[in-house]
Amino acid sequence: METSANNKTISRNKLLGVAGVGWMFDAMDVGILSFVIAALAADWGLNSSQMGWIGSINSIGMAVGALVFGVFADKVGRKTIFIWTLVIFSVASGLSALTTTFVAFLILRFFVGMGLGGELPVASTLVSESVEAKERGRVVVLLESFWAAGWLIAAVISYFVIPADFWPIEGWRVALLLTAIPAFYALYIRLHLPDSPQFTARPEAKKRSILQNMAGIWEKKYAKATIMLWILWFVVVFSYYGMFLWLPSVMVNKGFSLISSFGYVLIMTLAQLPGYFSAAWFIEKLGRKFVLVTYLLGTAGSALVFGNAETIEVLLISGILLSFFNLGAWGALYAYTPEQYPLIIRGTGSGMAAAVGRVGGIFGPLLVGSLLTAGYDFGLIFMIFCISIVIGVIAVIFLGKETMQTELE
């Protein structure tokens, strides 16, 4: 019995490590992008609207990727899709370092977004189906914690590489080239990652049509969960990308140099780890709804203070709390989403919810860019994000069901 338990632990930890490193590379790419936007603004003379479009085109690609790859994960398997999404975003990200025009950069960022958007819900679905109910939520949140590690790597690379002089190559190009590394990792993952045991045990799931699966999430039994998830995903992604892609630019706008801003954002990013770990502990003790509601309200309050901060002390403390609560909520969201659907439509349901969320990610950065261009300050902008998060909290309270330690259908 003890040997069997040890084997399960090894298998779970191996799955978490292999999937988590892929997740970490995704985060590294998104994190570097937030710093690259600030560098490109200075290098290419971009205005606020153009800066907003870089983040938004990424989210357009993520919306398409989440929908397409989520649907196909229910047809061909979780592992195959996980590998292909890693390759797509890695290669496109590396190529984006070679661009010389704004339009070419946007096109490649679309394909980067497709890979990212498809990989995240598929990976969380794969892990959810591979661990026991009593620890499923905690393991998925720990998977999400690799996002913080990726952001930390991105912040370190951006701090040392982007401002450095690699003449005749700009620092931001070198940083983006480093994001192509996951393409090689994808080859390793093909040999070492098992597919979902639930999916492989149900070969009849592949016989259902894509349209059947897409219609399935609106059956009476699942419609309420679908509405709740779509609202929740939209407001969380809308606020996250609206706020976090602009963090370095907010710091510069408030009078700090680009290099100093990298350092402060690095400190704020460190706060993501205790956010994840605390959420991972609470999610199997107090439930998914408790973690989502508590951490989202903490995010809303922190965002309000951050947007109106006038001193470096207030800016730093509120930024740390913003990272702590927001990323803890993200972990709970990824744990909660696959639990709403049965096996045959789990990839489709998770992917479509994430796709709706990415639509929010399109509007978030664009909203910030357009409002700044129109002369509005960050206080008002962050108030909008605060209100949107509260709407998501209301959706969870009234439409969500508790899924803690329940067996997946």
Highest-pLDDT range among 32-36, 178-182, 236-240, 256-260: 236-240
pLDDT over 90 (residue 232): yes
CA distance 335 to 160: 34
Neighbours of 371 (CB within 10 A): 17
For 286, list phi and psi in degrees, rounded to 5.
Answer: -115, -10
Across the range 288-295, mean pLDDT stands at: 97
Place 17 in a pLDDT band, splitting at 50, 70 and 90: confident
Across the range 140-159, mean pLDDT stands at: 86
Neighbours of 167 (CB within 10 A): 7
Neighbours of 203 (CB within 10 A): 8
Place 188 in a pLDDT band, splitting at 50, 70 and 90: confident
- Mean pLDDT of all residues in the chain? 86
Q: In 3D, which of 336, 335, 334, 338 has the Cα closest to residue 350?
A: 338
Higher pLDDT pick, 139 / 192: 139
CA distance 351 to 71: 7
Across the range 66-95, mean pLDDT stands at: 90
pLDDT in tens, 46-63: 887 788 788 778 888 989
Q: What's the confidence (pLDDT) of residue 42?
A: 82
For 202, list phi and psi in degrees, rounded to 5.
Answer: -125, 70
pLDDT over 80 (residue 182): no
342 and 202 in contact (C-beta within 8 Å)?
no
Q: What's the confidence (pLDDT) of residue 257?
A: 62
Place 3 in a pLDDT band, splitting at 50, 70 and 90: very low
Q: Which CATH superfamily is domain 2-191+208-399 in?
A: MFS general substrate transporter like domains (1.20.1250.20)
User: For the CA atoms of 17, 18, 19, 21, what is the dihedral angle to 10 degrees?
Assistant: 80
Across the range 164-171, mean pLDDT stands at: 81
Reading the block at residue 233, the tokens are: 């995903």
Reading the block at residue 250, the tokens are: 């907010």
Spans of all domains in the chain: 2-191+208-399
Q: Tell me which of 24-28, 251-255, 316-320 is least confident.
A: 251-255
Place 393 in a pLDDT band, splitting at 50, 70 and 90: very high
Q: What's the confidence (pLDDT) of residue 256?
A: 65
Interacting residues of 101 by C-beta distance below 8 A, sequence separation 6+: none
Higher pLDDT pick, 42 / 69: 69
CA distance 219 to 39: 47
Q: Tell me which of 277-286, 358-367, 383-392 is least confident.
A: 358-367
